[in-house]
Each structure stands twice: as C-alpha cells, then as structure tokens.
Amino acid sequence: MENTRPGLVAVIDVGSNALRMIIAEIKSTGKSVILENVKKSVRIGRDTFASGRISIPTIHDTCEILNNFVKLMKDYRVKYYEAVATSGIREAKNRNYILEQIRVTTGLEVRIINNAEERFFTYKGIREHVTESPVIRQEGVFIIDIGSGGVEISLYHHGSLHFTEYLKVGSLRLWENIGELEHKTLDFPKVMEEYIESRIYLLKRQIQSLGIRNFIGLGGELRNIYHICKGVKPIGKDKDVESVLVIELYSKLMVMTVEQIMKEYHLEYEQARNLLPSVILLNSFLQAVSAETIITPLISLRHGVLADIIDRMYDTVRKADFINDIISSTRYMGKKFGIDEVHSARVEELALTIFDQIEDIHNLGERERLYLQIAAILHDTGKFIDHNFHAIYSGEIVRSQDIIGLSNRELRIISNIVRYHDEEEPQHFHDNYNSLDYQDQIMISKLVACLKLANTLDVSHKQKIENLKIVSQEGKLHFIVDKRDDLVLEKWFFDDRAKFFEEVLGWKPVLLYKG
C-alpha cells in the first residue's frame, strides 16, 4: 500500500485499550476530509501493564480486528497507510513477536513510536483543529494528554515550547499499579490522588510559577467528561468545558465507587473505571493553571499522524513551526543540565554555518541539518556529570531523553554525534555506533566532522571569531574568519580535528584569519 502522493490515506493507532482507524481524503489544498472513523476495544494495555507481556488471546483478537480494518481499506481502495503503536505494545516484552504476527496475519507494517513522537503528532493535530492555536501558544498554554499508559504534558510560554514531559500515570496503568489497594481502604480515590500527586508535584510548581491561563485537555476520557459536565454529547471539533464544572465532577467522583459511577453516568465498566483517574489528573493540574475553561478539541494521535502526512506532502507552514518546537525543547533540556548557553549558541551557529557552506561536499539534507543543530546545543550536557569524560556522558544523556518529534533511531544518531564531538572518533567496536546501519554511520561521521571543527573555533568559550567564510581551493577548504583575540589555542585544536574531517570528507580544512 504505497504511493508517493496519496489521495486516500488510512491512519491506524494500535493503542493500549483500543484499535482506531481513520480513512481520509487529502485535497490538493492540503486539507483533509475524514471518511471513516472506527474504534474497537482491546486488552493490550491491561496485559502489558499487569504482566509485561501481551497474551495469545489478545494477539488473536488484535489481528482479527486489524484484518477487518484492512478489508475496509480495500473497500475504499486506500493505497497509502501508516500504522503506529504506543505504550501498550512499546512496553511489552514480547513486542517483536506481536508485530511479526500482525504483519504475517494482516499484511500491516506497524511502527512503534516513542513518547516524544506521540506528543509531536498529537500537537500537530491540535494545530490543525484548534482554531485559536496560534494565539494561545503566544499567550501560553498548558496541554495534557491523558492516555491509558501515561500522561503527556507540555507547556508553551511566549510562543515557544517551554518543556514537555511524559509521566507513567495513565488511567489504565494506575489501576494496574495500585488497583489492589482498592480493597484495603475505605477511601481509595484519596489514595489514588496521593499517588498521582507524588509523581507530579515538582512539575506543578514549575507550571504555577509561569502564570499560564490556557488549558487544553486531550485523551479518550475527555469526551465522557465533556458529556457529563455539559449534559450533552460533544459535536464538532473545538469544545470548552468550564473548569468549575470539572472541579465539581471531581468532588462527586471522590466519594463514589466504580459501580456507582457506572450507574450515575450510564457508562460501561471500563469507561467508569478510567474516569476517576482522568478527572483527578485534570483537577490536580487545574490547581497550577489559572484557566477558566478547558479546551477539549476531541482529536487524537491518528489526527496528528494524518497532519504529519500532509506536512510531508505539502511542506506546510505548520511543519516549520514544529521544527522550532523541537529546537526550543532542546534548549530547555540543555538548561536543565547547566550548559554554557553562550558557548552552546556559538557552536550551534558555527556548526550550521559550516554545514550550509559545504553542502555540495557532504550531500546531506534538511533533516540531517536538524540532527547537527540539536547535537551542537547539547554537546556539553555531560559536564553536568563529569568534566573529564563529558562527551561520553553527553551521548548517554541524549540517548536517554525524549526529544519531541524524534524517533529512537534519530536519538541514537544524535547521541553518537554528541559523543564524538570532542577528541574521540567513531569506532566500529563501539556498540553505540556499530548498532546503526552503514548509511547512518557515514552520515554521523560527516556531522561529527562539522561539529568537531565548530567546537574548536570556540574552544576557549570566549567567542573570539566572527564572520566565518569557507572557500575551496586545490583540495583544501580555507576557513576564513575575523578574529577579535589571539587564536593560538583555537588553531591548535582546529588543526588536530581537521585530520578527521579530511579523512571523512576528502577535503583538508585550513584555518585562516584576519585581524
């Protein structure tokens, strides 16, 4: 099911408690029209969060539902699809076997996405469907996406993504983690609230200090919360729920059992069970955000994946905005690890200048340029742990982070670039480097070569040079700079790191300066 410019597309979300699919027609304007929106419940998350493995019966049920999805896709003659899996499969010990059985049984190639990719797609959906999105991003907005496995939270401040975090306190996971306490206390809702507060109190302090007044709520339970609070079923895309109504609902649920919630609000057991933790989470964060209403756009991961497909097809303005979000969140991460921000910015500027001026030599593209930029920002994070071996620790830090919009493969690539930015060079006996395929290894080495030279040009952290211009001449690259101070140290490091650059790219860098 491949096509370079699809008209009809399908997006499948293999979630923790449901399988969901939308079939959409993408117009020549870049807008989309949803033709089908289907959902079927599964026990994937319940299996994974309880035992760490997905059971055979659940696998069979999943494949049967997905086969029905495939039949519907064929009825529509869909030629392009994307299928993604989240925490339910991502955290299962037998996930590879599950994905292979899905492939063999249904023909679907399902891609596991990490938390950061999940947030990225969801926020693309917000930008597509929340009409006032540009305004509230500038004013500042708190976003919470309550899933079965975890809660994704992000905060925009002065138009930029200030931070983004993933917390393992999803509605289904909470029951699997502490559900046994329900029969050991007369006030289980209070116990659940205390458990949630123990994991979010530091973040609440950060949020509270910024005075944010806009609040967006996402997740499957928001539809039920809207219905209960407003007394009507949600219709359309953008809906608001007054915060006071959510707080009133919280007060009611805190003295009710799951059975009472089912009866009072006419919900199925699973819906009633997940309602309590979802409302507790909303109430907890409402205490940190001065918002009169919660915007509930009623969009989900699959809407964001669809928006991403459109971005790749039409190179939209939204695409550039989200690249800025990636960079903004990277800078925030650097601050957390105490980097020298002035030095980091200078190395970033120099690395991108080198990349841009030798693009005919390295033959890399826009995405690779982004990897270099992120690596330049984060190259010194390891000094937070150990100055002597900071490059190794910097690589480990990057590899362990969730950077919004980046896949696990991309994080491995950037962690390698960061690791080798200083004295060390990539080696085939290094597992972190050797685990990647040949093309990725070559790309990493090219970007490392650029970052090494950029770092040497501010090795003193004193920003001694400006106006870098690169001129090719007889197999050499003349790095011509204006200097503001003595460059003995910088030239010594530059000449040393130039050897690796010449070996990788075939051109010998030579540092020349005026002034």
Asked if residue 321 belongs to a domain, the reply is: no
Whether 29 and 175 share a structural domain: no
**pLDDT (tens digit, 9 = 90+) per residue, 320-367?**
778 888 898 899 899 989 999 999 999 999 999 999 999 999 999 999
Task: Please classify residue 310 by burial: count the beta carbons closer than 10 Å to its beta carbon, then call 0-12 exposed, 13-18 middle and 19+ buried.
Answer: buried
**223/357 same-domain check:** no
Domain that holds residue 105: 8-113
122: which DSSP letter? H
Average pLDDT value for residue range 133-154: 85
The larger pLDDT score, comparing residue 458 to residue 152, is at 458
CATH code where residue 16 lies: 3.30.420.40
* 23 and 72 both lie in a single domain: yes
Q: What confidence category does residue 59 fall into, taking pLDDT thresholds of 50, 70 and 90?
A: very high
Residue 67 lies in a domain: yes
Rounded to an integer, the average pLDDT of 18-41 is 91
pLDDT value at residue 414 = 97
Count: domains in the chain: 3
User: What pLDDT, in 10s, does the model give residues 284-323?
Assistant: 999 999 899 998 887 888 998 998 998 888 777 677 778 8
Question: pLDDT tens across 436-468, in order?
Answer: 999 999 999 999 999 999 999 999 999 999 899
pLDDT band for 234, please (50, 70, 90 cuts): low
Q: What angle do CA 29, 30, 35 make, to 5 degrees?
A: 105
Is 495's pLDDT higher than 80? yes
Does 168 share its domain with 287? yes
pLDDT surpasses 80 at 483: yes
Q: What is the mean pLDDT of the chain?
A: 90
Domain CATH for 434? 1.10.3210.10
Q: Distance between the two ends of the chain, CA-based, in angstroms?
A: 60
pLDDT of residue 515: 63
Question: Is the pLDDT higher at 240 or at 418?
Answer: 418
Q: Which pair of structure tokens corresponds to residue 342?
A: 């002035």
What is the pTM for the complete model shown?
Answer: 0.76
Q: Which of 52, 81, 113 is the last residue of a domain?
A: 113
Mean pLDDT calculated for residue range 29-57: 92
- Under 8 Å between Cβ of 513 and 487: yes
**Is the same domain home to 219 and 244?**
yes
Q: Give me the pLDDT at residue 368, please.
A: 97
Give the pLDDT band (50/70/90) at residue 233. low
Highest mean pLDDT among 62-76, 112-126, 220-234 belongs to 62-76
Q: Which amino acid is at 193?
A: E
- Say yes or no to pLDDT of 6 above 60: no
Under the banding of pLDDT at 50, 70 and 90, the label for residue 201 is: confident
* The pLDDT value given to residue 232: 63
Examine residue 376 and state whether it is found in any structural domain, yes or no. Answer: yes
Q: Which of 42-46, 425-429, 436-440 has the lowest mean pLDDT?
A: 425-429
- Is 310 a domain residue? no
Q: Is the pLDDT of residue 3 over 50?
A: no
Integer-rounded Cα Rg, in Å, for the chain is: 25
Domain-located, residue 91 = yes
Give the CATH number of the domain where residue 163 resides.
3.30.420.150
Residue whose C-alpha is closest to residue 480's, from 345, 349, 357, 352: 357
- Within a domain: residue 203? yes
pLDDT band at 469 (very low <50, low <70, confident <90, very high): very high
Same domain, 60 and 45: yes
Domain for residue 149, yes or no? yes
Distance CA 130, CA 119 (A): 16
- Has residue 330 been placed in a domain? no
Indicate the pLDDT class of residue 2, thresholds 50, 70 and 90.
very low
Asked whether residue 170 falls in the same domain as residue 250, the answer is yes
Question: In which residue are the tokens 């994080």 written?
Answer: 411
Same domain, 145 and 240: yes
322 and 405 Cβ atoms separated by less than 8 Å: yes
Helices first, then strands: H and E counts in the chain: 22, 14
